[in-house]
């Protein structure tokens, strides 16, 4: 194949999404850009390692895995993680937020204040509002309070988010309605940690940022990459780790987490040749939780 690249994932910043490559280079993604690459013939998908270190055994990982890590590296990656609640001495301030992804799908979460809204973009939150800010442990206690008192989950599977994108309400007010009500109920609760400063309700809408305000409904999603396969399409939207690509089959969603661990190069074909499956219905998905271009 000649020169190859390894993808480190999709990153969101103020300027929009970008694919990041091993070595630190990145490719900015803009609407209308052609996204096209091929997987090395005869190649295998290998574990991406943990915490900046390569996998010691270069373990082969399944094509459908979004984690792209072997069991041991996945364990090491989470051994020192805010998400896994294994860090208690982080002195940075944290935001608590409410994020909305579609009807009946609101979650509570925390993110380091210095990251701003990047975490919400990475998760594909269509609309969000801050609840408050304070030390890590106070943010964690507030998150738990929301789960226990208001039954707001802290996780929503990507398959479920993907399934409802074609049926999102048209107006920002409708999209903000659920988190507005939850915010009102949340600030009325007692037992908030004293060190957490409550934030007023100020919804932030990402519908246009993601390009979902004008994109046709997706007809399918890439289920996995395969050796010798090609992905090719025009970028029409992006949300969280997902790229919405206009292809000869219609709009197809590519979860960029499926790219990690493969050696990728220029596309050999104009048309895509990787497995694509129909998008799941929301009711089925519920409970499932400078480079190449």
Give tens-digit pLDDT for 15-42. Answer: 899 999 988 899 999 999 999 999 999 9
pLDDT value at position 212?
95
Residue 1 pLDDT greater than 70, yes or no: no
Q: Regarding predicted confidence, which is higher, 84 or 278? A: 278
CB 234 within 8 A of CB 33: yes
Helices (H), ranges, 83-156:
118-123, 136-150
CA distance 85 to 170: 37
Across 255-267, average pLDDT: 95
Give 256's DSSP letter. G
CA distance 101 to 158: 10
CB 128 within 8 A of CB 100: yes
Q: Regarding predicted confidence, which is higher, 14 or 281? A: 14
Give tens-digit pLDDT for 141-160. Answer: 999 999 999 999 999 999 99
The C-alpha angle 31, 34, 38, rounded to 5 degrees, equals 140
Burial 85-109 (b: 16+ CB within 10 A, else e): eeeeeeeebbbbbbbbbbeebbbbb
Residue 288 pLDDT greater than 60, yes or no: no
Give 279's DSSP letter. P
Across 40-51, average pLDDT: 93
Residue 57 pLDDT greater than 60, yes or no: yes
Phi-psi category of residue 99: left, alpha or beta, with phi > 0 → left and psi -120 to 50 → alpha: beta
Residue 115 pLDDT greater than 70, yes or no: yes
């Amino acid at each position: 194949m000649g020169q190859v690249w390894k993808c480190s994932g999709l990153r969101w910043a103020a300027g929009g999404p970008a694919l990041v490559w091993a070595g630190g280079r990145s490719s900015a993604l803009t609407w209308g850009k052609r996204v096209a690459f091929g997987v090395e013939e005869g190649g295998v998908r290998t574990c991406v390692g943990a915490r900046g270190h390569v996998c010691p055994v270069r373990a082969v990982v399944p094509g459908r895995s979004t984690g792209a890590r072997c069991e041991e590296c996945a364990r090491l990656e989470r051994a020192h993680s805010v998400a896994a609640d294994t860090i208690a001495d982080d002195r940075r301030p944290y935001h608590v937020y409410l994020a909305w992804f579609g009807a009946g799908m609101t979650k509570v979460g925390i993110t380091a204040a210095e990251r701003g809204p990047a975490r919400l973009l990475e998760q594909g939150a269509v609309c969000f509002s801050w609840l408050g800010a304070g030390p890590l442990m106070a943010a964690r206690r507030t998150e738990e309070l929301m789960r226990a008192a208001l039954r707001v989950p802290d996780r929503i599977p990507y398959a479920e988010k993907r399934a409802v994108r074609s049926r999102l309400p048209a107006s920002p007010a409708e999209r903000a309605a659920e988190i507005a009500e939850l915010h009102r109920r949340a600030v009325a609760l007692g037992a908030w940690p004293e060190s957490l400063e409550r934030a007023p309700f100020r919804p932030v809408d990402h519908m246009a940022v993601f390009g979902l305000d004008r994109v046709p409904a997706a007809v399918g999603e890439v289920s996995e990459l395969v050796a010798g396969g090609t992905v090719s399409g025009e970028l029409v939207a992006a949300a969280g780790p997902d790229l919405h690509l206009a292809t000869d089959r219609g709009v197809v969603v590519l979860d960029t987490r499926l790219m990690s661990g493969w050696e990728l190069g220029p596309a050999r074909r104009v048309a895509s040749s990787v497995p694509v499956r129909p998008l799941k219905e929301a009711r089925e998905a519920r409970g499932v939780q400078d480079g190449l271009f």
